[in-house]
Amino acid sequence: MLPEPDTDLCRDLAADLHSAGFTAEALRDAWGPAADDAIARGLRSPASRALGDRGDALAVLGRLLVLGMPQAAASVDRSLSRAGAAGLVRLGLAEIDGDEVRPLAVVRPQSYADASRPGRDEMTAQWWIASDLDEAALGGPLPEDHVLGVGGASLTLAGLQLPTPAERTLDIGAGCGIQALRARAHVSHVVATDISPRALSFTRLNALLNGIDGIEVRLGSLFEPVAGEEFDRIVSNPPFVITPRVADVPAYEYRDGGMVGDDVVAAFVTGVGEHLAPGGVAQLLGNWETRDGMPGLERVRGWVESSPVPLDAWVVERESLDPLSYAELWVRDGGTLPGTPGFARLVDAWLDDFAARAVTEVGFGYLLLRRPADGSPTLARYETLHTALAGEGLGAHLAAALEAHDRLSALDDAELAASVLLVAADVTEARHHLPGAEDPTVIELRQGGGFGRALGVDPGLAALVGACDGDLAVGVLIDAIADLLEVDAGALRADLLPRVRELTFTGFLRFA
């Protein structure tokens, strides 16, 4: 566990990092894109070689705090004129060994989208995120109480968070605190929980280092620390990794919830409803197993339907892996590599565990759960989008989809036909013709934002989408298209209106 962070010292360290120009972009420029990408794969030597013998503050702090390499104490003191090497020691981030400063943690700059500065400059804001040393710096497997820094999964969830205002958010499994920091940009108060006292220490440190208040930390598992409380938002990157419950298999706190199979995600889904205020939304990442021939998404549907509190659900399976690929992924993640002692034994332990439950596939994806304000669920969407990419704008896309769903749910077909719609600005159309053919064989609509969906459409729907310019009502447009195509207008309405609902929910169309 880290020492309790000192507010003034964190402020001094932040000022030093700012003075050094310690940003993600500056470091990437200093050691180059290829070396920067190599760091994410656990290779630090390309970045170190690129810095050479540079002794400026950016280079010294990059080696010490990002690459995890010891640096001369005098160089560190020059680079941190306010906090100094002694300040890093007091914060538990380093130790002094003779004339060297040895890192005990990493502090990495992380760019994020600042909602207060929309447009081209919205990605220029920075956080500094402290976490435990990685495998490259440690030179071997991670300890079981390792606190993970910002990775692909945490960035995915941060991008998924709804960017709309609320009062209270709960962050379950806070880790280094990245989700709590992200949530605080849109809510007044965040309660961050974790089973790891060390993780909560990093959360407190990172909040102070970035000058963010309103984050309260509590120790405990799942919903235990918030018994009887309700929240407007709940966000979690839970320790969902499926891990064999046998001896000699490391149980990393940051990824292993201590349960069998996908039970930790099931427990979250069935228990979250009572902690959501009416209208409240929970968002999390998770794994789910395909067992005995039952697809994983259907098992997730069963968890939602088992919730004592009725829930809206939108679940997206982003990818799926066979048991062997899954086992290799997470054995490598812990720092045990092929060819090293124990790799084959650990993989076999995973395969035995999956075989015991007749697991043939493991899915990974995003879950959005909502407690309906009136208690009556209207959204039950379970879909596979293996090409989906979560980006900074995906949270806004989810918020717009929920708003569209609620509005659509209140409209019958006649009212929808009387509505005026606009085609979204990011939608494009592609038409494919056989050589010499006048009419297209394929018409495709593509979405530039959101989940990047691509849909094959027929001429009638393509004509309707193309005509949605915010001028005429949908029904009027359909009648005109029916005349043009020489088909029955009533039949065309019956065919197109359900698809208009889908296109409006998924963001191809929006209400004018």
Cβ–Cβ < 8 Å for 497, 412: no
Residue range 280-316, pLDDT digits in tens: 999 999 999 999 999 999 999 999 999 999 999 999 9
Residue 473 within any structural domain of the chain = yes
Residue 347 pLDDT > 90, yes or no? Answer: yes
* Matching residue, tokens 């360290």: 13
Strand pairing of 420-423 and 469-473?
Answer: antiparallel
Cβ-based burial of 255 (10 A; exposed 0-12, middle 13-18, buried ≥19)? buried
Question: How many independent structural domains does the chain possess?
Answer: 3
Closest CA to 223 of 256, 270, 293, 271: 271
| Last residue within a domain, chosen from 335, 365, 392 | 392
**Model's pTM, two decimal places?**
0.92
Cβ–Cβ < 8 Å for 210, 148: no
Residue range 25-49, pLDDT digits in tens: 999 999 999 999 998 888 899 999 9
Banded model confidence at residue 151, pLDDT cuts 50, 70, 90: confident
* 375 and 478 part of one domain: no
Q: What is the pLDDT of residue 118?
A: 44
* 462 and 380 part of one domain: no
* 360 and 438 part of one domain: no
Domain limits for position 361: 132-392
Q: What is the pLDDT of residue 392?
A: 61
* 420 and 388 part of one domain: no
Strand pairing of 442-447 and 100-103?
Answer: unpaired
Q: What is the pLDDT of residue 125?
A: 76
Encoded tokens for 446:
């593509």
Residue range 223-277, pLDDT digits in tens: 999 999 999 999 999 888 888 988 888 777 777 777 888 999 999 999 999 999 9
Which CATH number is 345's domain given?
A: 3.40.50.150
What's the CA gap between 82 and 65, in Å, rounded?
Answer: 16
* Matching residue, tokens 């790891």: 196
Q: Residues for the chain: how many in total?
A: 512
Q: What is the pLDDT of residue 60?
A: 98
Q: What is the pLDDT of residue 391?
A: 56
Tell me how far the alpha carbon of residue 83 is from its chain's centroid.
33
